[in-house]
Amino acid sequence: MIMPLPENMTYCRGEVSGFFLNFALEIFFDRKVEEKKQVFLSLGSNTGDRLAHLTKAVRLLQDKAGEILHISPVYLTQAWGFEGRNFLNIVVELSTTLSPHALLDTTKHIEKEIGRQPRKNLLSYSDRPIDIDILTYGKEQIKIDGLQIPHKHLAERNFVLFPWKDIAPSFVVPGYDSTVEELAEVSTDTLLAEKIAPGLEMPYDFLTIEGNIGAGKTTLAKMIAGEYGAQLILERFEENPFLPKFYEDPARYAFPLEMSFLADRYQQLIDELSQRDLFKKFVVSDYFVIKSLIFAGVTLQDEEFRLYRKIFNFMYNDLKKPDLYVYLYRETDDLLHNIAKRGRDYEKNITADYLKKIHNGYMSFIKTASDLNVLMIDVTGMDFQHKPEVYEAVKLKILNGLKEKEERIRVVKICEG
């Protein structure tokens, strides 16, 4: 049913143009308009897993508001207008057919879906899982019914101007007659606004997360694959019939165990990497084939290892290498604690000395593997499975994994707070 125009509008019957009708529907009924509008939005979060909140908000904007054209790098910023945890902020460019008020309603619904509670005091700010502000809507200037566009504080906030400058430096802000870059240059805001990640999406086609026994590599790989929609490759170690026997009698079962692991890992990687899931953005694995060489170097006798190495080299050279190889480091006591906590019978006899030999093997290989980009993350004492802020910190390090491309090996440490 076509809704009648409001009674207080005067028009000549039969002379209502399509443009005028769209205008009337836009102003009075807040419907979609035919013309797409260029919109810039500021997004921020300072509670929970801030990076995950931003990622979810962007995806919901894509689903509900329009087409995402650009996403800025991620900035770490101080809370503006109140004392609170630092924010993560981004600016996105959106193409939308929603009216200004419809867009505002959509952003409020997205905020609610992510967990933001209504402000108790409109005159003060507080911590929040997500905050979405409309910065500009086309070239329009609007001030009506609680909506002001351009945003009244945009020129006062580095957490808006700095990420905005990264994606639209020459955009002329309506009402200011200045570009975003010019506004950023004359900003008087002195609060922290530091670029800490190139974006929200993993910039990799193939990511490997590895580490010693009990480091948490499988847990982290599953978490990243689940959040980012990645294809997940997990080691099939629990299906290996030689593993329980090896822990009981290492000398007897070491060679068949390591050869079976090598063959299985090689075949699994070949199959998974050559038959990509077209609906997955990238691949993340909780091992790479070098794991076989490391463990074999610890468990095999010299003659066995020389034979093993010849076979390994052939397979290693044949495999696609990960874009980023992440090595999770934990101190030995931390590893032993995690091993005991998960309670696998065949791991109960693992010793501190064995774990140290495994770690040393990884370090020796990493130092000489010139074809690997390596990020070593010290997560000793850190629980990224149950603490969102720790998981977020690890993700940020991985997102930045190739930031310093001249450094083939980077070492970082995750700390509380």
Q: Which of 133, 166, 286, 323 is catalytic?
A: 286
Cα dihedral across residues 12, 15, 21, 27: positive or negative: negative
The candidate with the shortest Cα–Cα distance to 46, out of 157, 159, 136, 146, is 159
Q: Say which residues have a Cβ less than 8 Å from residue 29's Cβ, sequence separation at least 6.
A: 3
Tokens 């290498």 appear where? 321
Question: What secondary structure, in 3-state letters, does 4-68 show?
Answer: CCCCCCCCCCCCCCHHHHHHHHHHHHCCCCCCCEEEEEEEEECCCCHHHHHHHHHHHHHHHCCEE
Q: Using CA atoms, how far apart are residues 192 and 176, in angstroms rounded to an integer?
A: 24
Helix, strand, coil distribution of the chain in percent, nearest 5: 45, 20, 40
205 part of the active site:
no
Q: What would the DSSP string read from start to end of 117-138?
A: PPPS-TTS----S-EEEEEEET
The 8-class DSSP code of residue 81 comes to S
Which residues are identified as catalytic?
286
